[in-house]
Chains A and B, each alone.
Chain A
């Protein structure tokens, strides 16, 4: 019961793992490219949650200015923005050529 009532770093890590798994399931099973990209955003968010939770943990060890995890989370958000822009650009180019947004039909390089 005490583990339920006291929120520790591990609680945040488990939540991050659950979100990560949802993103992995989305990437592996969906056919719609837009939803696959959204699942990738879910994965990046799970990683960000872990980074900020562990940054909180290190603040307890090294004092309030140990914010490296938060800085790294900001870099991850920057990467997510770049990835979304380029990914959606590729998606538009693909849709123009094939008139579909199913990943199954991206099979030009397949044997």
Chain B
């Protein structure tokens, strides 16, 4: 069965993501930026579903939109943003920064228009029922070592965050 209305949902979700991204980098109030970022992350989770990646979509919602963004909002509450909101929001090099990003964008566009042919379309498989199972067996099979390293990284991050945020060690 062919997917229904894929282009419509793709453009809807990518429009949501881009508007959310623009709001993230332009809002004065950091809380508004965080809320816009949550919208972007949820739209991206829906795009993952369009790409038949339900496990990554679930991880995105639970970990990113649920975990990391709550951490951000807590830190925004801990630091005082009143003073920052009254000040200039963009630094002195903003013109150079936008020019550099524009040059990078031109590079991307050149690569993508020149290399259009290297992604031929294949007969894509339809939704597989065992995506989570397949990801799990890869994580605990072929990527076992990387998985253990990732757990070590998280342990280091926990200790690092506590040491950084603690007043007196």
Chain A residues engaging chain B, CB cutoff 8 angstroms: 4-15, 17-26, 28-32, 34-35, 37-39, 41-42, 45, 48-49, 52-53, 55-57, 59-61, 63-65, 67-68, 70-71, 73-75, 77-86, 88-93, 95-96, 100-104
Contacts and interface: CB of A to CB of B under 8 A. Distances in A.
Specify the main secondary structure of chain B where it touches its partner: helix
A93 B165 CA distance: 6
A15 B76 CA distance: 29
A38 B35 CA distance: 11
A61 B123 CA distance: 8
B139 to A, nearest CB: 6
Contacts of B116: 10
A88 B75 contact: yes
B90 A52 contact: no
Given A38-B37, A60-B125, A78 B154 contact: yes
B24 A34 contact: no
A48 B40 CA distance: 13
Contacts of B135: 67, 70-71, 74
A12 B87 CA distance: 37
Contacts of B33: 34-35, 38
A100 B6 CA distance: 46
Contacts of B78: 92, 95
B9 to A, nearest CB: 9
Interface of B: 6-7, 10, 14, 17-18, 21-22, 24-25, 27, 30, 33-34, 37, 40-41, 44, 47-48, 51-53, 55-56, 59-60, 63-64, 67-68, 71-72, 75-76, 78-81, 83-84, 87-91, 93-94, 96-98, 100-101, 104-105, 108-109, 112, 116, 119, 121-125, 128, 131, 134-135, 138-139, 143, 146, 150, 153-154, 156-158, 160-165, 167
B11 to A, nearest CB: 8
A28 B84 contact: no
Nearest to B157: A82
Given A21-B105, A38-B72, A92-B164, A70 B47 contact: no
B6 A7 contact: yes
B21 A23 contact: yes
Contacts of A23: 21, 25
Contacts of B56: 48, 52, 70, 73-74
B75 A15 contact: no
